[in-house]
């Protein structure tokens, strides 16, 4: 597997990979909280949200980066996006997506380690990576913990009005 910097021609594949990766969460997780109201209101157009977000992820002038994982045959099977706050020496993994056929083969690990190494090289002292606390995101939590990340307790509350 080759990990390389994202180029403009990768955008269509990254967008489709993101939509495919997160479709089960958005389409199958709509029973709670508040009977699906949170996702329905905050992420009603989740596909379009990703279509708008993806082109903004790789912007080196703003310290935002994307790397893709590519098979020997040139197929993109995952990517990681991260950003660096040079003043605070804080990095953040903003998005990670791996093709379902390549989950469990260390693609996610390699992508995260790539981003960590880049952040370390830029002088960052801390990296943040977030995920959901639901069943869909359990594999992500396991991955991050296997990389030595520790959870920081936080709770978000919602109330229907």
| C-alpha of 62 from chain center | 18
104 or 95: which carries more pLDDT confidence? 95
pLDDT at 22 over 80: yes
* pLDDT value of residue 34: 59
- Sequence-ordered list of residues with C-beta below 8 angstroms from that of 22, at least 6 positions apart, any chain: 46, 50, 97
160 pLDDT band, cuts 50/70/90, is: confident
pLDDT in tens, 3-12: 999 999 999 9
Residue 58 near residue 66 (C-beta atoms within 8 A)? yes
* pLDDT value of residue 31: 58
pLDDT at 32 over 90: no
pLDDT at 134 over 90: no
* pLDDT value of residue 30: 57
Distance in Å from the first CA to the final CA of the chain = 49
67 or 158: which carries more pLDDT confidence? 67
pLDDT in tens, 97-121: 999 999 989 999 999 999 999 999 9
Report the DSSP beta bridge partners of residue 81: 66, 95
pLDDT at 33 over 80: no
pLDDT in tens, 35-84: 667 777 877 888 999 999 999 999 999 999 999 999 999 999 999 999 99
129 or 45: which carries more pLDDT confidence? 129
HEC secondary structure over the chain:
CEEEECCHHHHHHHHHHHHHHHHHHHHHCCCCCHHHHHHHHHCCCHHHHHHHHHHHHCEHHHCEEEEEEECCCCCEEEEEEEEEECCCCEEEEEEEEECHHHCCCCHHHHHHHHHHHHHHHCCCCEEEECCCCCCCCHHHHHHHHHCCCCCCCCCCCCCCC
Give this prediction's pTM.
0.91
Rounded Cα–Cα distance for residues 96 and 66 (Å): 10
* pLDDT value of residue 39: 76
Domains of the chain plus CATH, in order, are 2-146 (3.40.630.30)
């Amino acid at each position: 597997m080759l990990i390389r910097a994202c180029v403009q021609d990768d955008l269509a594949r990254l967008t489709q990979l993101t939509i495919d990766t997160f479709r089960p969460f958005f389409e199958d997780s709509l029973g709670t909280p508040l009977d699906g109201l949170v996702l329905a209101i905050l992420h009603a157009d989740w596909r379009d949200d990703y279509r708008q977000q993806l082109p903004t992820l790789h912007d080196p002038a703003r310290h935002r980066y994307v790397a893709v994982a590519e098979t020997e045959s040139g197929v993109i099977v995952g990517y990681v996006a991260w950003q660096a706050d040079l003043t605070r020496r804080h990095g953040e993994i903003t998005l990670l997506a791996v093709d379902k056929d390549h989950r469990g083969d260390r693609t996610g690990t390699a992508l995260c380690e790539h981003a960590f190494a880049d952040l370390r090289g830029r002088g960052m002292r801390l990296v943040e990576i977030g995920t959901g606390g639901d069943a869909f995101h359990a594999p992500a939590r396991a991955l991050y913990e296997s990389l030595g990340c520790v959870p920081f307790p936080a709770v978000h509350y919602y109330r229907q009005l």
